[in-house]
Amino acid sequence: MRTELMIAQDLLGVPPDRIEPVAGGGNNRLFRLVSGPSQFALKLYDAQDLTAIARFEREVAALDFLADTPLADRIPGLVSADPAPPAALMEWVEGVPVTERSSNEVPRLLDFLIDLVAAGMAPSATTISLAAESCLTVAELVRQIDRRRARLGEIDAAELQPYLKRFDRLWQTLRRRLSNEDSQELAPGLRVLSPSDFGFHNTLRRPDGRLAFLDFEYFGWDDPAKLACDLLWHPGMQLDSGERSALHSGLLTLYSARDPCFARRFEQVLPAYGMRWCLILLNVFLPERWQRRRFATRADGDDWAGAKQRQLGMAETFLARVETVLEEKVL
C-alpha cells in the first residue's frame, strides 16, 4: 500500500522536504507539504468509503473549472490529482479561521456567490454535473429527508428514540404542507453553481485580509434555495443577528433578480432544510459515518458515545429552531 509520503512524491514529482498532518475536516486526511520555498496541501480521500471517489471527482472538477474564472484568487489552486487512491495536491493557503469578523465579511461571502452566478454563464460550466444531493424539486427534498430518517431508524440507538418521535410529529405536519407545493423540476436557467458545503466554516482569512474559500467536494448545479437555506442553517455558520439579517437579505436580492419565484420557494422550504440538518447532525450515529470521521482524524480511540451525545444535543437545539421558524417565520 502506498504511504502518504509515496503519494506526495508522485503528485509533487519530487520527494517533499517535509510532510506534516494537519487537523481539520471530518471526511479526509490533510497534510502540509514543504518543498524548498513552496508549500502545498495534500488531501487524501478514504478509498474504503464508497462516496470518496465522487467527492474527489467533484472537487477536482470544481477547482479546475474555477481556476479560469475571476474566483481563482479566492480558492486554492489545484496542482495535480490521482484517483487511485483518491488524492489531490493543492496550493497551501496560509490563513486563520474566520471566527471574529468585521462588518464587511458577510458581503465578501455574498460577493463570492455573485461571481459564481456569473461563472455559471460560461460555456465551460455545462461540463459541471449536479451538486451532491441536489434538490431540484420539493419532492426530492422530501425524499432525502425521508431517506435519512429511515436510515436512522435502522440502527439500535435507544437514546435517539425520544428525539425521533418529536422529530416525526413535526415532520409529518411540515410534510403535509410541502405536499401542496409545485414539484416541477427547477429549469436549468434558474439553477446556480453551488459549493454546497459553503460558509465561514470552510473559509480562511489570509494574512493580507483576503478570504480564501475551501472544500468543493459537493460542488455542482443546484437550486439556489438549497444553497441559501444551507448557508443559514449550517451549524458551522455561527452568525449574530446582524450578520444573519444581512446574509438573508443579500441572498434574497441576489437570487430574486434571476428568479421572481425564488423568495416564495425559499420561504416554503426553509423549515424543511432545517429538519434535514436535524438529521445530518445525527450522522455520527451511523457506523459508516463514524468510520469516515475516524479516517479523517486518525483517532482509533475517539469517544463515540460522547460524540453522539454532543450531536444529539445540537439536533435538539436545531429542532427547536425549526419550531420557531414555523411559528414566527424567523430563523
The CATH number covering residue 66 comes to 3.30.200.20
Report whether 222 contacts 259 (CB < 8 A): no
State the CB neighbour count (10 A cutoff) for residue 211: 18
The DSSP-derived string for 195-241 is -SS-SGGGEEE-TTS-EEE---TT-EEE-HHHHHHHHHH-TT----H
pLDDT at residue number 331 = 65
Residues 103 and 82 grouped into a single domain: no
E strands along 58-182, which residues?
78-83, 86-91, 96-97
pLDDT in tens, 38-57: 999 999 998 878 888 999 99
In whole numbers, what is the pLDDT of the chain averaged over residues? 92
Residues 224 and 289 grouped into a single domain: yes
Beta bridge partners of 30: 22, 43
321 three-class SS: helix
Rounded Cα distance between 86 and 45, Å, is: 5
Residues 164 and 272 grouped into a single domain: yes
Where does the pLDDT of residue 93 fall: very low under 50, low under 70, confident under 90, or very high at 90 and above? very high
Residues 102 and 87 grouped into a single domain: no
Angle at 170 between CA 166 and CA 172, to 5 degrees: 115
Share above pLDDT 90 across residues of the chain, in percent, rounded to a whole number: 80
Rounded Cα distance between 90 and 43, Å, is: 8
- What total number of domains does the chain contain? 2
Average pLDDT for 54-69: 96
Residues 178 and 31 grouped into a single domain: no
CATH number, domain of 111, equals 3.90.1200.10
pLDDT in tens, 119-150: 999 999 999 999 999 999 999 999 999 999 99
Residues 120 and 262 grouped into a single domain: yes
Residues 75 and 181 grouped into a single domain: no
pLDDT at residue number 16 = 96
Instruction: Examine the fold and report which residue of 91, 125, 147 is the final residue of a domain before the chain moves on.
Output: 91
Residues 85 and 118 grouped into a single domain: no
Residue 167 CB burial class (10 angstroms; 0-12, 13-18, ≥19): buried
pLDDT at residue number 303 = 85
Structural domain for 38, as ranges: 4-91
Average pLDDT for 300-325: 89
Residues 293 and 224 grouped into a single domain: yes
Residues 210 and 261 grouped into a single domain: yes
Q: How many angstroms separate the Cα of 60 from the Cα of each of 4, 78, 268? A: 19, 7, 34
Q: Which of 61-65, 113-117, 162-166, 285-289 is least confident?
A: 285-289
Average pLDDT for 90-108: 92
Give residues with Cβ within 8 angstroms of 101, minimum separation 6. Answer: 200, 243
Residues 117 and 43 grouped into a single domain: no
141 three-class SS: helix
Instruction: Examine the fold and report which residue of 66, 91, 116 is the final residue of a domain before the chain moves on.
Output: 91
pLDDT at residue number 48 = 79
> Among candidates 40, 49, 3, which has minimal Cα distance to 18?
40
pLDDT at residue number 302 = 65
Instruction: List the grid coordinates of 226.
Output: 438549497
Instruction: Examine the fold and report which residue of 91, 108, 129 is the final residue of a domain before the chain moves on.
Output: 91
Rounded Cα distance between 49 and 191, Å, is: 29
Residues 73 and 124 grouped into a single domain: no
The H or E element that residue 298 is part of is none
Average pLDDT for 200-212: 95
Q: What is the pTM of this model?
A: 0.93
